[in-house]
Chain A
Amino acid sequence: MTEMPHINSGGCVDQPILRERGQHEVFCGLTSIIWLHRKMQDAFFLVVGSRTCAHLLQSAAGVMIFAEPRFATAILEETDLAGLADAQDELDREVARLLARRPDIRQLFLVGSCPSEVIKLDLARAAERLTEAHAPHVRVLSWSGSGIETTFTEGEDACLAAMVPGLPRGDSSNLLVVGALPDVVEDQARRLLADLGIAQVDWLPARRSDAAPQVGPNTRFILSQPFLGDTYAALERRGARPIAAPMPFGEEGTTAWLASIAQEFDIGPEHFARVTEAPRERARAAVARATETLAGKRIFFFPDSQLEIPLARFLARECAMEPVEVGSPFIHRQITAPDLALVPEGTPLSEGQDVDLQLDRLRAAAPDLTVCGLGLANPLEAEGLTTKWAIELVFTPVHFYEQAGDLAELFARPLRRKAALHLSPNTPGSARGWPLAGQPS
């Protein structure tokens, strides 16, 4: 086996983090529904919220909203606010109607929002009551994707954590991979793990509810996404043991991730090398092409998904980029330690956000590439900065060997485009651009 990087110390593990509280320019956890509902094919996500929540889902889901999605919002109305008892009745009625219309649904998630949390609508109790009413055909669970409690991908964490207590108990020594990945990526990982010789691999979430994984004292689990802190804790409470690893981004990340599993399952280094050699080579070659564009470029991450640290690690080590600030909405020290250990020492890290202050730092740093949300990207482009919008990193297959080249390419493309265009955009405030509203006048 090739030398494995040291993963529990060094790099940025013990580095102080700039913690900020101020305006956050982020999505709430409801947004996770957009990829979760694609993954869990017999689940329906019913948000109990306001028109704002429905509008958010519509804005974030884009054209997906027209494809008979398995999510909807039960919009609270004035009368629901007046009496909570009535709100519970209303919910029962809406759920019954929904389930009658969609008999293919086996799992129903009641998803809490800011309004439902603030009025203290008890969705956990509602879920119990509804599970009884619709047993055994449908199981009803609840979690909160509210903006007051969750940021973007934390919605997935809340959802998976809610599923953990109900997973069947088992004694087999299985490997549980945690995190919703696109099917094609999941299948690649399945093949690699099978080739390594791991007998039983399960996934959380499973594609269908009848394939729900078993958990028990012999279960070892590994995260495929960094934002799963509560799910991690819930699995530990069920007696499962975690495997620490960097996230499987890039050739190095994927290899280290697989190697941590191999170690845990006593798989010999030669066998490991045999299985991974060819895909490692492919990944390196694919990344190398994008690296021509990326090498030496300075990159700045706004907080968005918690993927920022592992991505910065990948871009720094495999694409020779220089991270000038890595912002994350939340940094789970234990889970990110293996990645942090590989981030170049001294990289400024920030957690939380005060967006205006962060923008000041950004302008001062003037990086070559800025990773940020869609609310910031065009305004920053208009200022002459080059941006990569972050949500795409969550929606696009980017994990494991075969996607390593695509992942690097996502960052290279905006830079190549900048170089390819030979027209400067209209200067802001010109007759044809938009007026600069909201700027100091």
Chain B
Amino acid sequence: MKLSVWTYEGPPHVGAIRVATGMRGVHLVLHAPQGDTYADLLFTMIERRNHRPPVTYTTFQARDLGADTADLFRRSCTDAVERFQPQALMVGASCTAELIQDDPAGMAETMGFDIPVIPLELPSYQRKENFGADEAFYQITRALARPMERSDAPSCNILGPTGLGFRHRDDVAEIAALLADMGVEVNVTAPMGASPEEIAELGRAHFNVLLYPETAESAARWCEKELGQPWTRTVPIGVGATRDFISEVQALLPGAKVPSEARLRLPWYSASVDSTYLTGKRVFLFGDATHVMAMARVARDEIGFEVAGLGCYNREFARPVRALAKEYGIEALITDDYLEVEARIRDLAPELILGTQMERHIGKRLGIPCAVISAPVHVQDFPARYSPVMGFEGANVLFDTLVHPLVMGLEEHLLTMFRDDFEFHDAAGPSHHGGQAVARVETGEGPAPRAPRGISGKMKEDEVLWLDAAEAELKKIPFFVRGKARRNTESFAMERGLGEISVDTLYEAKAYYAR
């Protein structure tokens, strides 16, 4: 048993629903109790879909338990096929149905439908949402795709985008346009937008573009083995990765053209002097492995941040994430417990967090600005406007996304210079986002006298006393680094066994930690 309040991933059957909802012409029959239909609202609300997910839930109840549930399952399949007339039927079980052992797969296969029936194994007590999506797509591909003659024109498939994917809609558009620029046609995009008929045609493509390893790596590997299609290893997030991706495609298709970079603005924006202040800002990255690994490169090599820490919640990718962290000289955090993530962020005290919806809230709590770079996300991260994170336009989007939460360069400068002016005061907060403007409180006097601390009682061991002069000096440090300065100075003092912090201690600590 594991106590949990917040989960980064849903159960595996939610992954299967993401695949089914992304596709056209399939229907998923899920053996599940009434109540599990809550998952529908992820698609209709967060992703704002205008149709019900193509899922029939058997919604068995306690009174059905026993032989009845198997019957219910069969009836649900018959009804779904009759009503929705899908080209293929997927069947699976949610966590409860897994326990009652009705064997949906076996039952559906013997029902004699004249459409393909694709059974899914979704081990709810071991695996999670991403696994469910990967497994569902793999099983569909395995069931429907067959080797066939390659298209005359150079072509590829785009694999991985699903329902409820972070920016999948626009990433696909961006990468398809990039490939078109290179003279490569997209044969099939799957699962998102694909019908079973189109899955059957996967084999026509010359190679596969794997956009999201989390949701389609198994299918890509199967295609490699059974259809002889190589697949791209670089996920084109950021300028460098997009260029590498282009080279990879050119290696696979030597005739492919070099796409235009005319609309790419990140490199110049990043080089312009307004961005100088971004240099060495310490960031912490957390999310799914693919986004974290790609964004780390953008953060360090394209924006000039220092990557202070990184990690992912999907254990399946622990190894590459650890390897990457090592390259960055840091230790990866592999966990699905947000309390551990919060603790790590607190320890590292970064100036910016790049994470999921959860890290956004952690950032709010700790007063650290945050940008969202990975699922799980809420409704605001399924935007109406075009906002890919892949390809060249994606790079532009990323520059804005990563920089906006921070106080802008010139502004940061002014804030320090005119720190005592009435508008640019300390309490205004570190970010334009989230915090509400706080009016300056005019006291007219110096800091209020501090309550005397226990004179006779022993001081708590891990407590150091700030002398008033040092406290006043600390206030002169810009507020966005003050928290770090305070912590650094305190640990500096503690390590040296100093009970008090004077102005000198403050500056000694500053020199000690200078980078």
Minimum Cβ distance to chain A for residue B481 (Å): 26
Contacts of A441 in B (CB 8 A): 24-25, 85-87, 195
Q: Contact between A114 and B33 (Cβ–Cβ < 8 Å)?
A: yes
Q: Contact between A27 and B1 (Cβ–Cβ < 8 Å)?
A: no
Q: Does B100 contact A (CB under 8 A)?
A: yes
Minimum Cβ distance to chain B for residue A371 (Å): 15
Segment from B47-55, B220-228, B401-409, B441-449 that makes contact with A: B47-55
Annotate A371-391 by CB proximity to B: 1 below 8 A, 0 otherwise: 001111111011000000000
Residue among A52, A93, A115, A376 making CB contact with B10, cutoff 8 Å:
A52
Q: Contact between B44 and A379 (Cβ–Cβ < 8 Å)?
A: yes
Q: Complex formed: what's the CA distance from A90 to B20 in Å?
A: 36
Segment from A144-152, A181-189, A215-223, A249-257 that makes contact with B: A144-152
Minimum Cβ distance to chain A for residue B128 (Å): 7
Q: Contact between B1 and A87 (Cβ–Cβ < 8 Å)?
A: yes
Which residue from chain A places its CB closest to the CB of B364 in the assembled complex?
Answer: A66
- Between B21, B34, B51, B99, the greatest number of chain A beta carbons within 10 A of the residue's beta carbon is seen for B34
Q: Does B11 contact A (CB under 8 A)?
A: yes
Q: Complex formed: what's the CA distance from A90 to B26 in Å?
A: 41
Residue among A58, A66, A146 making CB contact with B33, cutoff 8 Å:
A146
Residue among A63, A69, A93, A428 making CB contact with B51, cutoff 8 Å:
A428
Q: Complex formed: what's the CA distance from A90 to B3 in Å?
A: 10
8 A-B contacts (beta carbon < 8 Å): A25-B40, A56-B36, A72-B3, A378-B49, A436-B50, A437-B25, A438-B54, A439-B84
Segment from A11-19, A75-83, A202-210 that makes contact with B: A75-83
Minimum Cβ distance to chain A for residue B99 (Å): 5
Contacts of B502 in A (CB 8 A): none
Q: Contact between B50 and A428 (Cβ–Cβ < 8 Å)?
A: yes
Q: Does A74 contact B (CB under 8 A)?
A: yes
- Between A22, A66, A356, the greatest number of chain B beta carbons within 10 A of the residue's beta carbon is seen for A66
Q: Complex formed: what's the CA distance from A66 to B341 in Å?
A: 14
Q: Contact between A356 and B35 (Cβ–Cβ < 8 Å)?
A: no
Interface residues on B, range: 35 or more
Q: Does B78 contact A (CB under 8 A)?
A: no
Minimum Cβ distance to chain B for residue A61 (Å): 9
Q: Does B458 contact A (CB under 8 A)?
A: no
Q: Does A298 contact B (CB under 8 A)?
A: no
Contacts of B13 in A (CB 8 A): 52
Segment from B59-67, B201-209, B327-335, B412-420 that makes contact with A: B59-67
Q: Does B2 contact A (CB under 8 A)?
A: yes
Contacts of A194 in B (CB 8 A): none
Interface residues on A, range: 35 or more
Q: Does B6 contact A (CB under 8 A)?
A: yes
Q: Does A136 contact B (CB under 8 A)?
A: no
Contacts of A168 in B (CB 8 A): none
Q: Does A418 contact B (CB under 8 A)?
A: no
Chain A to chain B: the 9 pairs with minimum beta-carbon distance, closest first = A438-B54, A147-B35, A28-B35, A375-B40, A382-B50, A147-B33, A114-B96, A50-B95, A374-B41
Q: Does B4 contact A (CB under 8 A)?
A: yes
Q: Does A191 contact B (CB under 8 A)?
A: no
Residue among A30, A52, A69, A114 making CB contact with B5, cutoff 8 Å:
A69
Contacts of A437 in B (CB 8 A): 20-26, 51, 53-54
Residue among A63, A97, A146 making CB contact with B3, cutoff 8 Å:
A97
Minimum Cβ distance to chain A for residue B20 (Å): 7
Q: Does B125 contact A (CB under 8 A)?
A: yes
Q: Complex formed: what's the CA distance from A205 to B361 in Å?
A: 31
Q: Contact between B57 and A115 (Cβ–Cβ < 8 Å)?
A: no
Q: Contact between B99 and A118 (Cβ–Cβ < 8 Å)?
A: yes
Minimum Cβ distance to chain A for residue B364 (Å): 8
Q: Does B260 contact A (CB under 8 A)?
A: no
Residue among A30, A118, A119, A436 making CB contact with B35, cutoff 8 Å:
A30
Q: Contact between A440 and B34 (Cβ–Cβ < 8 Å)?
A: no
Contacts of B34 in A (CB 8 A): 24, 26, 28, 147-148, 151
Q: Does A351 contact B (CB under 8 A)?
A: no
Q: Contact between A375 and B6 (Cβ–Cβ < 8 Å)?
A: no
Minimum Cβ distance to chain A for residue B377 (Å): 13
Q: Contact between A114 and B35 (Cβ–Cβ < 8 Å)?
A: yes
CB interface residues, A 147-174, toward B, < 8 Å: 147-149, 151
Q: Does B83 contact A (CB under 8 A)?
A: yes
Known: A25-B37, A87-B1, A374-B44. A52 touches B124 (CB 8 A): yes
Q: Complex formed: what's the CA distance from A374 to B52 in Å?
A: 10
Q: A22-B79, A77-B125, A114-B96 are in contact. List 13 more A-B contacts (CB 8 A).
A: A24-B59, A28-B33, A52-B96, A56-B35, A73-B3, A77-B1, A114-B35, A374-B45, A376-B44, A437-B53, A438-B24, A438-B52, A438-B84
CB interface residues, A 7-62, toward B, < 8 Å: 22-31, 46, 48, 50-52, 54-56, 58-60
Annotate B55-99 by CB proximity to A: 1 below 8 A, 0 otherwise: 111111110110000000000100100011111000000111001
Q: Complex formed: what's the CA distance from A24 to B193 in Å?
A: 27
Q: Contact between A438 and B51 (Cβ–Cβ < 8 Å)?
A: yes
Q: Complex formed: what's the CA distance from A340 to B282 in Å?
A: 64
Which residue from chain B places its CB closest to the CB of A430 in the assembled complex?
Answer: B50
Contacts of B126 in A (CB 8 A): 77-78
Q: Contact between B61 and A72 (Cβ–Cβ < 8 Å)?
A: no
CB interface residues, A 76-128, toward B, < 8 Å: 76-78, 80-81, 87, 90-91, 93-94, 97-98, 114-115, 117-119
Known: A148-B33, A439-B84. A50 touches B40 (CB 8 A): no
Q: Complex formed: what's the CA distance from A71 to B5 in Å?
A: 7
Contacts of B6 in A (CB 8 A): 58, 65-66
Q: Does A346 contact B (CB under 8 A)?
A: no
Contacts of A78 in B (CB 8 A): 125-126
Q: Complex formed: what's the CA distance from A77 to B195 in Å?
A: 35
Q: Does B42 contact A (CB under 8 A)?
A: yes
Known: A51-B7, A75-B1, A441-B24. A148 touches B37 (CB 8 A): no
Minimum Cβ distance to chain A for residue B5 (Å): 5
CB interface residues, A 400-439, toward B, < 8 Å: 425, 428, 433-439
Contacts of B11 in A (CB 8 A): 50-52, 55
Q: Does B27 contact A (CB under 8 A)?
A: yes
Q: Contact between A59 and B38 (Cβ–Cβ < 8 Å)?
A: yes
Q: Contact between A51 and B124 (Cβ–Cβ < 8 Å)?
A: yes
Q: Complex formed: what's the CA distance from A439 to B40 in Å?
A: 15
Q: Contact between A76 and B125 (Cβ–Cβ < 8 Å)?
A: yes
Q: Contact between B10 and A373 (Cβ–Cβ < 8 Å)?
A: no
